[in-house]
Structure 1
Amino acid sequence: MTSLDPTCAGLRLTSALDGLSVTFRGMVAAPDEHNCECHWGSARELALLKMPDVTLDPDLLRRTWQAPGWDDHASVVRRILPQFATALVGGLIESERGFEDVGRFLARGQWQEWPAGQASAVAEFLDAWWDHTLPLPEPAVPAYDVLACVAEASGTLTPWLTAWETSRAPAADRHLVQAVEQWDYDLLGDSLPWDTWSSEETEAQTLAELVAWLVDHASDRLRQHGAPPALLHRVRLIGLNGPARWDDPHWPGYRY
C-alpha cells in the first residue's frame, strides 16, 4: 500500500534519488559513442557524456534524453540518470510528445536486464516516485503523466493501478478526477490515452486493463470525492460498447 503521508513518501523518494546517485556514480557513455553533430550537439558536448559526474546544462540534458540515435543507449541512460531523475521529479523535464516518451527513454535502455543492483535502484526510483505522487496534493508532475511514464518505463500497468487502488489519501482521489478528465475523450474512442510502442495486442490488453480498472474502482471514489455527474456518466460510458455508448443520452457528443 502506498503511503498516506506525503512526508514519508517524500523521504522514500529522496532516498531513491540518493540510491541512483550512488549506484550510477562514475558512469559514462560508451567510449566510441557518437551522435549527429548538426542535430544533437558538438564534439565538446559529446565529450561531457564520457566524463563522469559532470552536471549537464538543462538544454544538453534535454537533447541527450530526447536523441534517438545512440549506439549504446543503455550507457547514455546510466550516465545521465541521477541528474535526469532529479530534474524529472522536480517538474523540470518537458516533453512535447508526452511523458510516455520519458518512460520510453528508460525502457530503451533495457534497465531491467542490467546488473541486479542497478535494476533495483531504477525500480525503487519508479516505485518511490509513484508512491510520492499519489498522496501529494500538488505534485510537480500530474499523476496521469507519471502513470504514463512509469507504465512505459516498466512495460506494465498492473502494479501502478494496484497502488492507486490501495492508496486512500484524499489527493489520490483528486488525481483520479483529473485523470478521467484528461483521458475520457481517448477512452470513449477506444484508444489508450497515451502513445505506446507496444504491439497492437499488448496495447489492446493495456487499454482493456485500464478500462476495467476505471469501471470497477473509479466510480465510487469519484462520487465520494464529489465529482460532477457528467464525469460519472463518462466513466459509466467507458464501460459500454458500440451503440449502447453512442446512443446513451449522456453521450458527450465527441466526434472522432
Structure 2
Amino acid sequence: MYRSPQLVTALDALDRAFASEEPFSVTGCSFCYTEQDFVSLSGPLHLIPDDLVSLAAGEVPDHWGDFPRLYRRLAPRIIRSVFTGQSTVDEELIASRLVQAGWTTWDAALAGALRDVWSAWWQATLHSYPSPVPIRKTLGLITVATNSLSPWLDQWATTRTPAADAHLADLIDDVTFEAEITDLHMGFLGEYHATPELLRWLLRDVRERAADPRLDDPYLLEHLRSVTQHAD
C-alpha cells in the first residue's frame, strides 16, 4: 500500500463520489458466470467478493448486459484493489477497460474523482520506491486512461527525488531491452503509441539523470531523429 495522505484522501473522495451509483440487476454470460455471481454483482458494492470484482475488472465488455454501467459501479473497488495489491488483473488491462467503459463521459463528479486519483497516485509513485505497482504499469495505466503521456513525463522531469530517479532507472532497463522503446505501445490492447514522446523525453529531457550507456546507442539516436522528423 502507498503511504500517501493525498492518495488516501483521493481514494476516499472516489468512494464518496461513486456512492450515488445504485445497485441494478446485472446480466451477462451465463456460461462464464453463475446466477449467484449475478446476484452478488447486483447487490451492495462492499459485499461483492474480491475474486468476483477481479473477474469483472478484466472481463470482455460483451460478456455483460450493460458493461459501462457495471464497470462504473465497480470502479472504486477495482481502482482501490490496484493500490492495495489485491488485484490479480493486469493494470494496463484495467486502463483499457476503463476506456471501453467511457469513463471520461461519466458524470463530472465521477470523472473528476478519477482524475484526482490518477494525479495523487502518480505523485505518490514518484516519492516512493519501490512502489506496489511497477513504474511501467503505473505509467501505462494512467497514460492509456487519460490518453496522454507528456504531462506525466513533465511532472516526472521536475520531480528530483531518489525515488523518481530509481523509477527512471527501472523504466530504462525495461524499455531498452531488445530496443522495445523503438516501437512501444501502452495499454493491454496497445492503444497508445508511446515511442515518440517517451524516446524524446529519455534522450533529451532527463538524459543527464540517467547513467545508462544504452541510451547512447546510435540506433536510438537515429530513431529519435526519424520520429522527430515524422512528427514535424
Q: Secondary structure at the match of 1:139?
A: coil
Provide the rounded CA distance (Å) in 2 between the counterparts of 1:152 and 1:71: 25
Q: Tell me, yes or no, if structure 1 residue 75 matches structure 2 residue 56.
A: no
Partner of 1:184: 176
Residue identity opposite 1:145 in structure 2: K
For 1:140, give the aligned amino acid. Answer: P
Partner of 1:18: 12
Single out whichever of 178-187 and 115-124 deviates more from structure 2. 178-187
Alignment match, 1:46: 38
Question: Paired residue for 1:92, among 70, 81, 86?
Answer: 86
Structure 2 unmatched runs, 5+: 226-232
Is the contact made by 2:27 and 2:66 (CA closer than 8 Å) also made in structure 1?
Answer: no
Indicate if the aligned counterparts of 1:29 and 1:75 stay in contact, CA closer than 8 A: no
Cα displacement (A) at 1:210 = 0.8
| Equivalent residue, structure 1, for 2:216 | 236
Residue 35 of structure 1 corresponds to which residue in structure 2? 28
Q: Which residue of 2 aligns with 1:222?
A: 210
Residues 187 and 193 of structure 1 are in contact (CA less than 8 Å); yes or no, is this contact kept in structure 2? no
For 1:164 and 1:94, the matched residues in 2 are separated by: 27
Structure 1: how far apart are the matches of 2:204 and 2:198?
Answer: 10
TM-score (norm 2): 0.85
Task: Kindly indicate which of the two structures has a greater share of residues assigned to helix.
Answer: 2
User: What letter corresponds to residue 112 of structure 1 in structure 2?
Assistant: T
1:6-59 residue CA offsets vs partner (Å, 9 max, x unmatched): 86xx1110011101110111524653x4221222x2111112222233332222
Show the 5 A alignment for 1:170-181. 170-181=162-173
Following the alignment from structure 2 to structure 1, what is the Cα–Cα distance between the partners of residues 75 and 214? Answer: 39
Alignment correspondent of 1:251: none
Residues 104-134 of structure 1: CA deviation (Å, up to 9, x unaligned): 1211121111111111001111111111111
TM-score, structure 1 length as denominator?
A: 0.77
Gapped runs of 5+ residues in structure 1?
1-5, 224-231, 245-256
One-letter amino acid matched to 1:85: I
How many aligned residue pairs are there? 220
Percent of pairs identical after alignment? 25
State the superposition RMSD in angstroms. Answer: 2.3
- AA in 1 matched with 2:163: A
